[in-house]
């Protein structure tokens, strides 16, 4: 039974939701799926993982019940990342703080934060003009809001290829070869921002790349195209290649940051989360860090209108 793969219709029946909602969960990267031909399937283990991730923290008895602010869910939007996944799970376990993630890409995640639809944005957006990550976008959007920008990690981005690199892919010009099939990330993803910047820098027309319009919504689903032999190369992070036993050709190092937007309702919860990210307890619990540099983890790189109580 554990090896069974379900159709989106069957998952919708299991969760008593619409099939459209199932596809939205897959699109946002909250539910991992794979394709057999043109048919979508979801593993039984993935369904169990998703069910666990959506469970509310267990209630404490009255004597040890956390203060009421810890019961309010914190909304996180933005880029999918393995360290972010770990942060979401561990904050529920260690702080009894429930974070609701929506993995929808860096740009849309930041816009959700700007519109007040989330409390934290996870982003890695390269500004082509300044070649600086994240802060140019933040400076434009958040003028009067109270925010803190915390460095989570630097990540290696590059080409994800099959073991042994059978097609001999070494640089961006190889993506335009007729014998190469590419798989892309969706518009608004930080990885897509970096790829398009690199293609422009090298004078490569995206129309020349087979598969440029074939979009996926997270790193693992993109890398799975390579592991299943559907594509020859993807552009993504080293940890996704490592998870699937693929080879990786590094191209650039990027900065991945968390943007916290404070309000009266979430101020204490966000302050607790920032302190947690800065604690040895969180950092020492990190494993499987291939492709990550965490020496700046917890550093506040920018903040505005932060009171003494929330300043870190």
Dihedral sign computed on CA atoms, order 245, 246, 249, 252: negative
8 neighbors 42 (Cβ within 8 angstroms): yes
Segment 260-303, tens digit of pLDDT: 999 999 999 999 999 999 999 999 999 889 999 999 999 999 99
- The Cα 20–Cα 8 span in angstroms is 9
- The Cα 231–Cα 246 span in angstroms is 13
Segment 57-93, tens digit of pLDDT: 554 444 444 443 445 799 999 999 999 999 999 999 9
233 neighbors 169 (Cβ within 8 angstroms): yes
All residues at 6 or more sequence positions from 279 whose CB lies less than 8 Å from its CB, including other chains: 298
pLDDT of 65 reads: 43
pLDDT of 70 reads: 42
pLDDT of 299 reads: 98
Q: Which domains does the chain have, with CATH numbers?
A: 1-53 (1.10.10), 157-253 (3.40.190.10)
CB atoms within 10 A of CB 228: 12
107 neighbors 125 (Cβ within 8 angstroms): yes
pLDDT of 2 reads: 52
What pTM, to 2 d.p., does this model score?
0.78
Q: HEC string of the chain?
A: CCCCEECHHHHHHHHCCCHHHHHHHHHCCCCCCEEECCEEEEEHHHHHHHHHHCCCCCCCCCCCCCCHHHHCCEEEEECCCHHHHHHHHHHHHHHCCCEEEEECCHHHHHHHHHCCCCCEEEECCEECCCCEECHHHHHHHCCCCCEEEEEEEEEEEEEEECCCCCCCCCCHHHHHCCCCCEEEECCCCHHHHHHHHHHHHCCCCHHHCCCCCCEECCHHHHHHHHHCCCCCEEEEEHHHHHHCCCEEEEEEEEEEEEEEECCCCCHHHHHHHHHHHCCHHHHHCCCCCCCEECCCCCCEEEEECCCCCCCC
Rounded mean pLDDT for each run of 10 residues along the chain, 312 residues in total: 74 77 74 74 81 60 44 88 95 94 93 96 96 96 96 98 98 98 96 97 97 93 95 97 96 98 96 97 92 97 68 42
Closest of 291, 44, 292, 81 to residue 185, by C-alpha? 81
- The Cα 280–Cα 283 span in angstroms is 5
pLDDT of 66 reads: 44
- The Cα 259–Cα 59 span in angstroms is 29
Closest of 235, 232, 230 to residue 219, by C-alpha? 235
pLDDT of 191 reads: 97
Separation of CA 247 from chain center = 21
């Amino acid at each position: 039974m554990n090896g069974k793969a379900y159709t989106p219709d069957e998952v919708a029946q299991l969760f008593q939701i619409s099939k459209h909602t199932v596809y939205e969960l897959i699109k946002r990267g909250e539910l991992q799926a794979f394709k057999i031909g043109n048919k979508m399937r979801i593993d039984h283990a993935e369904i169990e993982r998703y069910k666990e991730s959506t469970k509310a923290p267990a209630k404490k008895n009255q004597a040890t019940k956390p203060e009421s602010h810890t019961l309010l869910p914190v909304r996180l939007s933005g880029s999918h990342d393995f360290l972010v996944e770990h942060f979401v799970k561990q904050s529920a376990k260690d702080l009894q703080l429930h974070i609701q993630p929506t993995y929808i890409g860096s740009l849309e995640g930041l816009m959700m934060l700007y519109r007040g639809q989330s409390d934290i944005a996870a982003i890695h957006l390269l500004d082509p003009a300044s070649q600086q990550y994240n802060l140019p976008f933040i400076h434009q959007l958040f003028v009067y809001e109270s925010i803190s920008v915390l460095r989570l990690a630097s990540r290696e981005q590059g080409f994800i290829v099959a073991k042994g690199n059978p097609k001999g892919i070494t640089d961006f010009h190889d993506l335009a070869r007729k014998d190469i099939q590419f798989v892309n990330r969706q518009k608004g993803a930080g990885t897509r921002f970096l790829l398009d910047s690199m293609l422009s820098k090298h004078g490569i027309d995206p129309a020349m790349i087979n598969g440029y319009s074939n979009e996926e919504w997270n790193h693992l689903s993109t890398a799975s195209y390579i592991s299943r032999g559907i594509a020859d190369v993807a552009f993504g992070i080293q940890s996704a290649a490592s998870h699937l036993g693929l080879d990786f050709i590094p191209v650039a190092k990027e900065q991945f940051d968390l943007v916290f937007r404070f309000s009266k309702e979430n101020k204490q919860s966000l302050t607790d989360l920032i302190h947690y990210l800065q604690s040895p307890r969180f950092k020492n619990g990190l494993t499987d860090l291939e492709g990550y540099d965490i020496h700046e983890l917890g550093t506040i790189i920018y903040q505005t209108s932060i009171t003494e109580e929330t300043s870190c």
